[in-house]
A and B are shown apart, each in its own frame.
Chain A
Amino acid sequence: MHPLRLQVTDPVIMKVFRNPDVLWREEDEQKAQAYEELAKGEDVEEIGTSVLFSDGVMLSLNIIGTEIWKQCDGRGVEEIIADLIDRFEVDPDVLRKDATAFLAELEQKGFIRYED
């Protein structure tokens, strides 16, 4: 990762916001299916529970991606990650790495922005 990006996404000082121009919705049936399978201990990584699109760019997100997206409402990145660690059985280090990369991609696409 470019060193400047680390400054921009510094979770201690930066808050993350969804771009209001991005259209998005949760996919109710698939969300229910994902949570049902998650409860059984199944791998739900490939089940899309939400879809985002803006100016021709579209993304389908799984449970964790969706929960991160929904919490991009002014919270800090570390706060979002802490919440997910509480709610899902995930390795904190893996989640932190994946979430950081995911947020960097959302920022690059213009789907989120950071503010002090």
Chain B
Amino acid sequence: MKTNNFLKAPLTINWAVTNRCNFKCRHCYSRTDPSEELDTRTLFACIEKIVSAGVLSINFGGGEPLLRKDLLEISAFAAGLGLRVSMNSNGYLIDRERALGLKAAGFSKVGISLDSHVADVHDNFRGISGSHEKAVAALAYLREARIKTSISTVICRINHHSIQEVIAFAVGHGVHQLNFHNFKCSGLGYSNKDELDLSAQEWKEFYINAMEAKQEVKDLEISLDDPIIASLGMKTETDSLVKGSVCGKLSLNIKSNGDITPCGFIPIVIGNIVSDELKHVWNTSPVLDRMRNKKPTGKCSTCKSYEDCLGGCSARALALTGDFNNPDPHCWVHES
């Protein structure tokens, strides 16, 4: 009774409602993005568009979404139209009152960026002293407000040996989900990749350890969003409708000026939500068509894992090789 089919519209929109930020993260993908923002009324009209297209959930990001003074108004509008509303935040601006406001505005889940269980390591990576303490406090306030929380950790050189500690930290703070994000090499992540990114072999070791931890930990959902894990042949309990990257298959990204991209880390504009119909872009974009029908090249051509990983992360392949159809440079599988 289960099938595997193409969808009429994205399930989720990741919406960078602002590019303004109060942090100076060393891996940030959006510091070079345009600063224009859609006004509240225009955003409302765009949200109505995505609802009519069939989108089910919206995840606000940026930049720091809480720097938009109308964020709660936007959220309440989206939730009122039936969308499941969530957000990624650095947590710096979330106190008890703000957490209650988020709950009242319809937020069902808030992800807090936390890159280390060690405060100084996190603060140094995010460029703001005291940011770790604020993030931890935000988790508590959100929990009090009965909003589900997650921790988003960007895996890189500062934390790849700290899996168990980060997991214990997440469990200790009662979060619902821990997301280990792969390092994308976009924006400042590209500029600082030599300092922060792991070697292919280090990625392999990290994922083996993380997958083992995922299978052992019972009180926490651990999410690993990297398609190259498929080559490990380790069982995952998470069902997915698609193979390879989910970008352009289950979700799309909208930038602060309304530009639509396959994901936040792929700077290829395929439309604009103000002037275009989402379903038209979803159904006719040649870029999305290429992403959904990637062809194996190079070492992928002979790799037995290709049908599951589909070349790995398209954003990383694009950033490091210039073509998202190329093999993911993080892949550790040797040519056969």
Contact = CB atoms under 8 A, between A and B. Distances in A.
Interface of A: 23-25, 27-30, 45-48, 51, 53, 55-62, 64-65, 68, 98-99, 102, 109
A71 B36 CA distance: 46
Interface of B: 1-5, 7-8, 11, 54, 56-57, 84, 176-177, 221, 223, 238-241, 250
Given A23-B84, A25-B56, A51-B11, A59 B239 contact: yes
* Interface secondary structure of B, over-half rule: loop
Contact of B7 (A51, A68, A98): A51
Contacts of A46: 3-4
Contact of B11 (A23, A57, A109): A23
Given A23-B11, A23-B56, A28-B8, A56 B223 contact: yes
Given A55-B177, A55-B221, A27 B8 contact: yes
Given A23-B84, A25-B56, A58 B3 contact: no
Contacts of A68: 1
Contacts of B238: 56-57
A68 B2 CA distance: 12
A94 B54 CA distance: 33
Nearest to B8: A27
A61 B2 contact: yes
B5 A48 contact: yes
B13 to A, nearest CB: 13
Nearest to A69: B1
A64 to B, nearest CB: 6
Name the residue in A23, A24, A28 with the highest tally of chain B Cβ atoms < 10 Å from its Cβ.
A23
Sort A-B residue pairs by CB-CB distance and give the 9 closest, nearest first.
A65-B1, A48-B5, A48-B3, A23-B56, A58-B241, A102-B1, A60-B3, A62-B3, A27-B8
A27 B1 contact: no
Given A23-B57, A27-B8, A55-B221, A62 B177 contact: no
B3 A53 contact: no
Contacts of B54: 25
28 contacts: A24-B56, A25-B54, A27-B5, A27-B7, A28-B8, A29-B8, A30-B5, A46-B4, A47-B5, A48-B4, A51-B7, A51-B11, A51-B241, A53-B56, A55-B176, A56-B223, A56-B238, A56-B240, A58-B11, A58-B239, A59-B239, A59-B241, A60-B2, A62-B2, A62-B3, A65-B2, A98-B1, A109-B239
